[in-house]
Amino acid sequence: MGALDSFALEGKVAFVTGGNAGLGKAMARGLAEAGADVAIAARRKDLLDEALAEILDGTGRRGFAVAADLSERREPDRAAREVLEALGRVDVLVSNAGANTPQPIDEVDDDTWEGVLNVHVRAAMALTRALAPQMKERRWGRIVYISSGLGFKGMAGRAAYTSAKAALLGLARSVAVDLGPYGITANCICPGMFLTDALRWLDEEQRARLEAAAALERAAEPRELVGPLLLLASDAGSYVSGTSLVVDGGWIIK
């Protein structure tokens, strides 16, 4: 196998949550281009179908879209079950669905706190629990949790979000130990500032200030997350497990 061949995903099935837009959509497209069949999940079925068509366009891959609110207790299990029924297996799990409701710490309400942690952490755990058995049978699997640079660094008004993203770092380490004997890796990717819809509302002054905070002094395009993901999702990263790959242009170190 050549160096580039080790990044290929032909014959694999990937499941990306939050895959209808932004980083999730870009990652799903990259996985399909690498040869994987791709399932995506998000809350709105109508947006999912359109996104899936764009993700698969020209790739010749199979796909499946499942509408699910992953903050609800039973939804991750149902979504995993439907993907397995539709595509037969899941080799690569990318737990990307998230939520961020800024609140000062003395104003954080229980519903917000629980909702943010549920969609980031409990859903990631539940999906891992649901999909691990069939990965163990094949003795191959890749689990990637999308954390954040804010998993390492605090920010005012982001107590729930930073707590959730930090928890994913610990989850990846523990899952890596639990599932490592079965040839399954678990890692985090920690993005910095990417130009998704969540940031396009910034005015020029706000954007310039945020970009200056990174060592590279710019924001990233969503496609720039695909390379790091393919490393962790393929045989190229077969000996990488329990770690966190920071993709933030040098934000947390500046």
**Two tokens at 229?**
């993901």
Q: Which residues make Cβ contacts (< 8 Å) with residue 234, sequence separation at least 6?
A: 6, 7, 8, 9, 34, 142
Phi-psi region of 2 (alpha: psi -120 to 50; beta: other; left: phi over 0): beta
> Which residues, 6 or more positions from 233, have their beta carbon under 8 angstroms from its beta carbon?
9, 14, 31, 34, 36, 92, 94, 142, 144
Which amino acids are annotated catalytic? 161
CA distance 160 to 102: 8
| Rg value, the chain, Cα | 17
